[in-house]
Amino acid sequence: MLSVDEAITTRRSVRAFKSDSVEPEMLSHILEVASRAPSGTNMQPWHVHVFTGDALKSLCDSVLDAFWNLPEEHESDRLHYLEKSRDPYLARRRKVGWDLYGLLGIGKGEREKTRKFHAQNYIFFGAPVGLIFTIDRDMGWMSWLDYGMFIQNICLAARGQGLHTCPQAAWANYHDVVERHLNLPEIQLVHCGMSLGYEDTDALVNTLTTDREPVEDFVTFHGG
Ligand SMILES: Cc1cc2nc3c(=O)[nH]c(=O)nc-3n(C[C@H](O)[C@H](O)[C@H](O)COP(=O)(O)O)c2cc1C
């Protein structure tokens, strides 16, 4: 068993997976464990669509079709992060982008190569399991916090089973395609996805290590 600290610190966003399947019982276990996440007034605002096999391929085909053929309609129509990017967030974002693309030998301005790599999001980076998360669109921001805790729990419970994950905002750009694909009721929206499976340890992309700010830079200690 991994310790809590180990589960947290060995979690990374993995962007190349082995094709080895994940046992349905293991998946159910991870989701059950993750559902112990706290939520304000225990509302549990999450709903997960689990894709494997043909269903996964069919979802990916729908989104990839839109990605390659209708890109202009899907330039992120939602505010994902910041209205107007600024430091220190912009610097951190650039750093991880440069590190990732540098590793892959993709230079600045190489749009086609960048797009090709970005497209990997829409095959869940080769993972055998793709998760799509939906939430009722009228939920308030506390419920979104609950959802974040739930998603992190999935990442950590997956580590407990020797699996890796990559949370993916990329799916939000194609929320309309996925919503149609799933025939979701109007009240629900797709807000992100996640790749889950066994890490391809030979893949260069998985050697990426990301920085964190030191504790003293993001914590203000009051008192003793
Ligand atoms: C909400 C959220 C959305 C993300 N979206 C994507 C994505 O669409 N594609 C991707 O490759 N990585 C995505 N990531 C992974 C981040 O880039 C990654 O967490 C960050 O660079 C820190 O690296 P680490 O997860 O390896 O520690 C996302 C992470 C989070 C939490």
Expressed in angstroms and rounded, the spacing between residue 10 Cα and the centre of ligand 1 is: 15
| Domain count across the chain | 1
1-48 pLDDT, tens digit per residue, is: 899 999 999 999 999 999 999 999 999 999 999 999 999 999 999 999
Residues in the chain, total = 224
* CA 14 to ligand 1: nearest atom: 26
Residues 6+ apart with CB under 8 A from 194: 130, 131, 133, 151, 154, 155, 165, 166, 167, 168
Strand, coil or helix: what is 37?
coil
Q: At what angle do helices 53-69 and 111-119 cross, to 10 degrees?
A: 160
* CA 125 to ligand 1: nearest atom: 11
> Does the beta carbon of 167 sit less than 6 angstroms from any atom of ligand 1?
yes
Residue 133 is part of which domain span?
4-78+122-208
Whether 106 is covered by a domain: the verdict is no
**CATH code, domain with 59:** 3.40.109.10
> Does the beta carbon of 206 sit less than 6 angstroms from any atom of ligand 1?
no
> Does the beta carbon of 193 sit less than 6 angstroms from any atom of ligand 1?
no
> Does the beta carbon of 15 sit less than 6 angstroms from any atom of ligand 1?
yes
Task: Enter the pTM of the model.
Answer: 0.96
69-113 pLDDT, tens digit per residue, is: 987 777 767 788 898 999 999 999 999 999 999 999 999 999 999
Q: What's the alpha-carbon Rg for the chain, to the nearest Å?
A: 18
Whether 192 is covered by a domain: the verdict is yes
157-194 pLDDT, tens digit per residue, is: 999 999 999 999 999 999 999 999 999 999 999 999 99
Say what percent of the chain tops pLDDT 90. 92
Whether 32 is covered by a domain: the verdict is yes
DSSP string, 175-210: HHHHHHHHT--TTEEEEEEEEEE-B-TT-GGGG---
123: which 2 tokens? Answer: 């095959």
> Does the beta carbon of 172 sit less than 6 angstroms from any atom of ligand 1?
no
Whether 134 is covered by a domain: the verdict is yes
Whether 213 is covered by a domain: the verdict is no
Average pLDDT taken over every residue of the chain: 96
